[in-house]
Copies of this chain bind each other. A is one copy, B any other.
Amino acid sequence: MTSPERTPDAKGAADLIITRCTALVHDDHEGIGFVEDATVVVRDGLVESVTAGPAGAGAAETIDAHGQVAMPGLVNCHTHTPMVALRGLAEDLPVEEWFNDVVWPVESNLTARDVELGARLACAEMIRGGVTCFADHYFAMDTVAAVVAESGLRANLGQAFFSSQGVEGRERSLDFALRHRGTAGGRVTTSLAPHAPYTVDDADLAATAALAREHGLPVHIHAAENRDQTASSLARRGRTPVEVLADTGLLGTDLLIAHGTGITERDLPVLARAAGRVAVACAPRGYLRFAWPTTTPVRALRELGIPVGLATDGAASNSSLDVWESMALLALTQKSAEGDPRWLTARQALHHATLQSARAVGLGGEIGSLAPGHRADIVLVDLSGPHTQPVHDLAAALVHSARSGDVRTTIVDGRVLMRDRELLTVDVPTVVREMGARMPALVDRSHGRRIQDYDT
């Protein structure tokens, strides 16, 4: 479907034109709409126009996307990319055993090379699944930043820290954030990344909030991940995790909270008073897997105007980095949790997948919409397969019938990273081969070490 017709000398020619697609656009009230037989023009890494009808001029590259939907690339608002190396290693366990018996012992073996290979495999998986941007919260993030640069993806990166590392943990997180923000041609943004209120003490959280304000940095943290954490925080400190975020000043920063299934009624007025731009990342598959009794309270958060972005968490808990699946599961688990089949419609799911996810990673107004002037982060989704036909409702077809494997082409900043399912920036077999050879050393737990204890 791709015909790269290079016309390098054509003055004023666009860099990329996508023709004959159905374009997913937002109206002035953020409603989801579709432009049939549309042309998308990309210039200098930006969307220049989305119009009905054929292209008016030539371009360096033209993609005929007949039968495909052009939509903003998905955003994975909370993940730990290198953990793809642990995919399937700790199945069918409660979260305590998952952390203490497998994940944290194995992570004590991690080397920068493991992180590099994991991040590279994760980028390949996400590009193939229509993800154009991700928020990563992990260790050895210099390495991840280098992989982001080579992969062509966009990312918000944070070097995770625990208070058990002393002040150095926080300082390394700050140092990383300052050195890397704006790198990879502006595709990398950075956050401070305290692990969680149960592993980072109040003084450390307050110091992090002060650094965020001083340096204009967002903060990305796990908080109120589940009801047990909230109950434990109340028992130990007399405050919920969200109240801890408020008391330490973090709700005054641009704060991305991972999970929040433990957010309770009493947290809602606290969140309503937040001075910063607070958002929550929801990774619904893991909440089912760990049999947590609640999911992210999306309806309550919506009433507060708090964006909820889509996420997968790491592949060690989610089994994949399939944000497309997160989109469908968000809709399904929200209907189930609210007992309301009318809630979280397919169009609402697409709003979470686009504008709300963009805001969650601090890139509202830059990504999440095919509006002119936004970054050209675009995916082309094939709806011609038997599992997506006929199409009575484009939103329903995208959210509930299409799969991540229906993404044919992935574009970031106007650059094609996957064309007709062919990855252009990552060599998967080479990564898989070396990763396989390193696995015995990585998964060895005979040493009895772990990087932390899970004890909320």
Given A393-B88, A393-B89, also A387-B289 (CB < 8 A): no
Chain B residue nearest in CB terms to A288:
B332
> A428 contacts which chain B residues (CB < 8 A)?
384-386, 389
A319 and B88 form a contact (CB under 8 A): no
B291 and A392 form a contact (CB under 8 A): no
A435 at the interface (CB under 8 A from B): yes
> A93 contacts which chain B residues (CB < 8 A)?
341-342
B387 and A293 form a contact (CB under 8 A): no
Given A86-B392, A339-B293, A405-B403, also A385-B91 (CB < 8 A): no
Q: How far is the CA of A95 from the CA of B122 in the complex (A)?
A: 39
A338 at the interface (CB under 8 A from B): yes
A341 and B88 form a contact (CB under 8 A): no
Taking the closest CB of chain B, its distance from the CB of A116, in whole angstroms, is: 15
A264 at the interface (CB under 8 A from B): no
A291 and B341 form a contact (CB under 8 A): yes
A88 and B397 form a contact (CB under 8 A): yes
| Residue-wise interface mask of A (262-296) relative to B, using a CB-CB cutoff of 8 A (1 in contact, 0 not) | 00000000000000000000000101111111000
Q: Which of A386-433 contact B (CB under 8 A)?
A: 386-393, 395-397, 400-401, 403-406, 426, 428-429, 431-432
Q: How far is the CA of A206 from the CA of B79 in the complex (A)?
A: 56
A225 at the interface (CB under 8 A from B): no
> A439 contacts which chain B residues (CB < 8 A)?
390, 392
B435 and A390 form a contact (CB under 8 A): yes
B89 and A392 form a contact (CB under 8 A): yes
> A406 contacts which chain B residues (CB < 8 A)?
405
B291 and A336 form a contact (CB under 8 A): yes
A396 and B432 form a contact (CB under 8 A): no
A91 and B393 form a contact (CB under 8 A): yes
> A293 contacts which chain B residues (CB < 8 A)?
339
B435 and A389 form a contact (CB under 8 A): yes
- The interface size bin for chain A is 35 or more
A87 and B392 form a contact (CB under 8 A): yes
> A426 contacts which chain B residues (CB < 8 A)?
386
| Residue-wise interface mask of A (47-71) relative to B, using a CB-CB cutoff of 8 A (1 in contact, 0 not) | 0000000000000000000000000
Q: How far is the CA of A332 from the CA of B335 in the complex (A)?
A: 16
A341 and B387 form a contact (CB under 8 A): no
A358 at the interface (CB under 8 A from B): no
A289 and B121 form a contact (CB under 8 A): no
27 contacts between A and B (CB under 8 A): A84-B386, A84-B389, A85-B390, A87-B401, A88-B393, A88-B396, A89-B392, A89-B393, A92-B341, A93-B341, A93-B342, A121-B389, A125-B387, A128-B387, A285-B332, A289-B332, A289-B335, A290-B341, A291-B338, A291-B339, A291-B341, A320-B387, A384-B429, A387-B404, A389-B428, A405-B405, A405-B406
Closest 3 CB pairs of A and B: A319-B400, A405-B405, A88-B396
